[in-house]
């Protein structure tokens, strides 16, 4: 069992504009929450640096919103930037929690997760418990990447299994099995009695600067490798140089920048009212 990757909020937030778009697209499909005569209660699973958690208060100004994450670095950043009362009379809080065994301790109206469940093996097995904890008419909404066969990820996995790296990194990265097929999410959530909307989108991100795909992956997909090699800066440099060369060939810059297609999967499941 490997230790959890160490996150770097500053690196992750370097592409926050592109990374926020899918969250906004997800929220646009979340229906109104049940009117319970009290502020909505919202849980954001894998809240990261809190910047997308804070956007929930724009849509539900008086909501009590709690972000859960198991990265101390991310939680510290989130708490520093966003914790406290919101302008609409609600509140943002951030708490440690491991999604592998997170059990809702109070009824929620919305459980949302953006770009986090792919890190949690077997996450779909938690859906029944999470739905149980929703108020009638409550919503489970999540977005996960669906790009595990894209060159950025395939080349990374291939590099980790080269003889030079295999012993240290060979089993560090999970592949396409990190997420389910969209149809599988749909079937599972329908089977749990929800009204369900599942879709996928491939964003054509236009990145700028030198080696922008490497810079992007350093914030997310590379975290397990950087964590595993963390005590060996020379190995980190050697690995990054090899990966950078592979990415340069796979994503050559064009006249307007570097095109980085990124497929993402979305699900919105509404519990019966």
Residue 100 or 250 having the CB closest to ligand SAM: 100
d(CA 158, CA 170) in angstroms, rounded, equals 9
Q: Tell the smallest beta-carbon distance from residue 117 to ligand SAM (Å).
A: 8
Residue 22 or 138: which CB sits closer to ligand SAM? Answer: 22
State the nearest-atom distance from the C-beta of 236 to ligand SAM, in Å: 20
Using CA atoms, how far apart are residues 146 and 144, in angstroms rounded to an integer?
Answer: 6
Least CB distance to ligand SAM at residue 216 (A): 11
**To the nearest 10°, the Cα dihedral for 100, 106, 110, 114?**
-30
Separation CA 194–CA 271 (nearest Å) = 5
- For residue 167, the minimal CB distance to ligand SAM (Å) is 25
For residues 202 and 146, the answer to whether their CB atoms sit within 8 Å is no
Binding site for ligand SAM (CB under 6 A): 7, 19, 23, 46-48, 52, 69-71, 74, 97-100, 114-116, 119-120, 220
**In this complex, which beta carbon is closest to ligand SAM, that of residue 14 or of residue 248?**
14
Helix (H, G, I), strand (E, B) or coil at 174: coil
Please list, in sequence order, all residues whose beta carbon lies within 8 angstroms of the beta carbon of residue 69, skipping any fewer than 6 positions away: 46, 47, 48, 75, 78, 94, 96, 97, 116
Closer Cβ to ligand SAM, 34 or 78, answer by number: 78
Nearer to ligand SAM, 98 or 184 (CB): 98
Shortest Cβ 66–ligand SAM spacing (Å): 13
């Amino acid at each position: 069992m490997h230790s959890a990757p160490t996150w770097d909020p500053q690196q992750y937030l370097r592409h926050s504009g592109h990374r926020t778009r899918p969250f906004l697209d997800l929220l646009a499909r979340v229906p109104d929450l049940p009117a319970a005569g009290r502020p909505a209660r919202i849980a954001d699973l894998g809240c990261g640096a809190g910047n997308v958690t804070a956007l929930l208060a724009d849509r539900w100004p008086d909501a009590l919103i709690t972000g859960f994450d198991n990265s101390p670095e991310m939680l510290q950043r989130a708490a520093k930037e966003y914790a406290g009362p919101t302008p609409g009379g609600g509140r943002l809080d951030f708490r440690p929690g491991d999604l592998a065994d997170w059990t809702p301790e109070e009824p929620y109206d919305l459980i949302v997760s953006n770009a986090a469940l792919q890190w949690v093996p077997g996450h779909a097995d938690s859906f029944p418990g999470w739905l149980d904890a929703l108020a009638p008419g409550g919503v489970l909404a999540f977005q996960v990447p669906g790009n595990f066969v894209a060159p950025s990820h395939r080349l990374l996995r291939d590099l980790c299994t080269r003889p030079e790296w295999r012993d240290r990194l060979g089993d560090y990265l999970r592949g396409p099995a990190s997420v389910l097929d969209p149809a599988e999410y749909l079937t599972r959530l329908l089977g749990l009695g929800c009204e369900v909307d599942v879709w996928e989108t491939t964003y054509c991100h236009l990145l700028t600067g030198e080696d922008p795909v490497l810079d992007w992956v350093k914030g997310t997909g590379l975290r397990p490798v950087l964590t595993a090699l963390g005590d060996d800066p020379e190995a980190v440099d050697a690995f990054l140089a090899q990966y950078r060369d592979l990415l340069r060939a796979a994503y050559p810059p064009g006249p307007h920048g570097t095109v980085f297609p990124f497929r993402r999967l979305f699900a919105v499941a509404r519990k019966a009212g």
